[in-house]
Structures are given as structure tokens and as C-alpha cells.
Structure 1
Amino acid sequence: MEPMAPELLMALASGTAGAAGQQLWASLRDLVHRPSPVEPTGTPELDALTDAADTAERTARAADLTRTLAERARQDPAFADALGTWQRTPALATVRTTGSGDVHNTVSGGRQQTVIEGRDFNGDITIGG
């Protein structure tokens, strides 16, 4: 099984991955909540990521969940197979993840120009038509 990127889990949990990401998060949540003969199950870590309040906390909780899912997969072959199948879901390849951290933009000066502020742009930006 390939290790999971915490950034992917953060994107899915925060809803920034769109409708497909929401469906993927729901299917991962269902997988993690299945009864398990081993500990750790990943349920507390998944719930903590869902409830994380800020980027730093989401980053830490996503890393915790990544480690826990890998540990559960090592101990539970059925879970490892199911998680591997989930990781190979074609829609997962379309989820764009962002790096961790916040962006703080400052605009100053006397010129009147167009300013676009944001983070992790994907695609074209058209101004004025």
C-alpha cells in the first residue's frame, strides 16, 4: 500500500476538493468506521481531522491519521485491501492538494493596478472580459 499524503486528507476533510472530494471523504470515513479486530482503528484521528480548527491543527491531525491508517493496514489485511482499493479510485487522481500553511498578502503603493490575491491557482485568470 502506498503511503497517503497528509495534504490529500486535509483537502478531502476541509471540503476544498469539491463534490468528488466530499464523496471520497465519505467513502474513506465509511471504511475507517467499519468494525475492526485491531487497534488503532483510525476513528478518533479521522474525527479529530474533521473537527480541526486551523491549518496547523489540520496538518497535525492529517499526519496522525496517515500514520494510524498505515498501522491499521499493516495489522489488518482486509482493511489494507479495502484501503488500497480506495486509493486507486480514479476520482482520487483528480483531487488537487495544496501545501500546508497560510498565505498573508499585503498590497501597498500608490498605483491603481489590478491585484489578484489567492493561493494555489489552477487554470487561467481572465480580467476584463
Structure 2
Amino acid sequence: MDPISAAALTGLAGGVGGEAGRQAWTALGALVHRPFRHGAGSGAADDESRTLAVSSGAAELAALVQDPGDVERAQRLSTALAVRAALSSEFRSALESWWEQAQSVRANGGVENRISGGTQHGPVLMGRDFSGITITGHGSAGPRVTPADSHGTGSPASDGTDPSSASGPQEG
């Protein structure tokens, strides 16, 4: 399983996705707070010491709740989740299931950019929440239509020839 991205964790911790995002975040909290048992130790003391040496992710989750935009805290949570998933197949399965559902959560005002067919004349910006942008253009942004392109006889070209005829310079 690939690690859960820090960006996804900060987004969910910060309330991205409205009610669906809140439910995904709550479900992750419930998953992290499940008892953490890993390995096949030789005794209760051995199991307890290994549990203390490896984070369940609860401390990292709590830290991210305190500062949802902190990418470093989100990365620590991502690492704790990945380590726990590597040590517990039960947790890994539950985390994969949670992640499949959480990935469907989209930000409020999510953006899906798509250009299909045709020719775009001029700048095309794709994204969300642009600010402080100045777009300048040089000349016409649209296609140039010359009189000859408009199915009629055009005005004489600069050399005096009629663009719609094959004859030479016009007398005038």
C-alpha cells in the first residue's frame, strides 16, 4: 500500500469535503484508536515493549488536529500509518478500505479542468482560486480572417495583384 499523502491528511484534518470529509476524518480517528497489536512476541512484556516503540498513530493524529495545516505533522501521521500497516495486516486491510472511501471526498468547489476539441486562441488557465494574475496578449487572440478567406474578392494585395485572380498586376 502506498502511504497516505500528507496533502490528503491536511485537507481532511482542515475540513475539506464538507460532511463527507468530516466523516472520513472521524473514521480515520476510529481506525487509529483501535488496539494496536503486532508481531508474535515471546511474552506479554515483549509485546508491550514493542507496542511502545512503534506509534499507533494516535499522537500524530492528535497533533494534526491541533494544527490541521501543518504538513510536517501530516507527514508524521502518514509515516505512523504506513509503519502500522506494515506491521499489522488487519490494520493494513482496514486502512486500505478507509483510503478507498476517503479518496472520493472532494474539496468544496473542487475543480475538474477539461479542454476537448477545437483550437484555443489565447491563454488557457486551468486550476482554482487564481489571484494576482495579469494576462497580456500581443495582437488579436482570435483567428485572422482575410478578405480572400471570406469567399469574396479581396482588395488588391500590396503588389497590386488581385488575390482572387491568377492575372498579374492590375492597371488602374
The higher radius of gyration belongs to 2
1:65 corresponds in structure 2 to 77
**TM-score normalised by the chain length of structure 2:** 0.51
1:126 corresponds in structure 2 to none
Pairing 1:99-110 to 2, within 5 Å after superposition: none
Unaligned runs of 5+ in 2: 38-50, 109-126, 131-172
Measured after TM superposition, the shift of residue 40 of structure 1 is 1.5
Q: Report how many aligned residue pairs link the two structures.
A: 97
Root-mean-square deviation (Å): 2.3
> Residue type matched to 1:18 in 2?
G
2:96 corresponds in structure 1 to 84
> Residue type matched to 1:5 in 2?
S
Unaligned runs of 5+ in 1: 98-118, 123-129
Taking only the aligned residue pairs, the percentage that are identical comes to 35
Measured after TM superposition, the shift of residue 120 of structure 1 is 4.0
Q: Deviations over 1:10-30 (max 9, x none)?
A: 011111321110000000000
Greater percentage in helix: 1
Q: Is the 8 A contact 2:10 2:74 kept in 1?
A: yes
**TM-score normalised by the chain length of structure 1:** 0.67
- Asked if 1:24 corresponds to 2:4, the answer is no
- Asked if 1:52 corresponds to 2:67, the answer is yes
Q: Deviations over 1:36-94 (max 9, x none)?
A: 114320000000000017x4xx11100000011000000011000000111111x5223
> Residue type matched to 1:92 in 2?
Q
Following the alignment from structure 1 to structure 2, what is the Cα–Cα distance between the partners of residues 5 and 96? 15
**Secondary structure at 1:26 match in 2:** helix
1:113 corresponds in structure 2 to none
Q: 1:42 aligns with which of 53, 57, 67?
A: 57
**Secondary structure at 1:3 match in 2:** coil
Following the alignment from structure 1 to structure 2, what is the Cα–Cα distance between the partners of residues 3 and 31? 16
Structure 1: 4+ residue segments shifted above 3 A: 119-122
Q: Is the 8 A contact 2:18 2:107 kept in 1?
A: no
**Secondary structure at 1:93 match in 2:** coil
Q: Is the 8 A contact 1:24 1:92 kept in 2?
A: no
